[in-house]
């Protein structure tokens, strides 16, 4: 069973998965994820998924569901720690939803697009390479 974060505070040590649903968010050469994956525009927060790093099948299932609802392709996810997010002066809050108790939001984004890009660039630099979804 996937980690059940619920409404508990997001700890700095937690990994957050950002689901990748656009191929243009991935650098083909080295499978790193571009800053565009971490920009919330046009929304006021960025949706992520809390996890304990050991449940690739469950993360794959949630990611596939997210992509399906958005009528997109699920390519995988990039992991970034909550501490790395907070280093950019953004916040992370638990935001469980009925179908996903591990949903969270990255909040506190600046209004200016260039400032958002700067935060996104820092997160992308701290993020893991793309983790491909498990089969099945």
Q: What is the pLDDT of residues 77-108, one digit of tens each?
A: 999 999 999 999 999 999 999 888 999 999 99
SS3 content of the chain, % helix, strand, coil (to 5): 30, 25, 45
Q: Is 129 helix (H, G, I), strand (E, B) or coil?
A: coil
DSSP letter (8 states) at residue 111: S
Average pLDDT over residues 117-130: 97
Apex 61 CA angle, 59 and 102, nearest 5: 50
pLDDT greater than 80 at residue 1: no
CA distances from 73 to 41, 56, 78, 80 (A): 20, 17, 15, 21
Sheet holding 76-81, edge to edge: 76-81, 15-20, 46-51, 103-107, 91-94
pTM of the model: 0.93
* Cis peptide bond prior to 87, omega within 30° of 0: no
What is the tens place of the pLDDT at every residue in 49-80? 998 655 788 899 999 999 999 999 999 999 99
Residue 43 pLDDT class (50, 70, 90 cuts): confident
């Amino acid at each position: 069973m996937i980690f059940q974060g619920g409404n508990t505070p997001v700890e700095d040590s937690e990994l957050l998965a950002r689901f990748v649903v656009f191929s243009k968010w991935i650098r083909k050469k080295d499978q790193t994820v571009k800053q565009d994956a971490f920009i919330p525009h046009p929304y006021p927060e960025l949706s992520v998924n809390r996890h304990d790093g050991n449940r690739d099948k469950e993360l794959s299932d949630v990611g596939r569901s997210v992509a399906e609802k958005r009528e997109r392709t699920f390519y995988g996810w990039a992991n970034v720690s909550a501490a790395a997010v907070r280093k950019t002066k953004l916040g992370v809050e638990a935001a469980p939803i009925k179908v996903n108790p591990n949903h969270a939001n990255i909040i506190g984004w600046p209004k200016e697009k260039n400032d958002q890009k700067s935060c996104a660039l820092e997160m992308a630099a701290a993020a893991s390479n793309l983790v491909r979804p498990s089969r099945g």
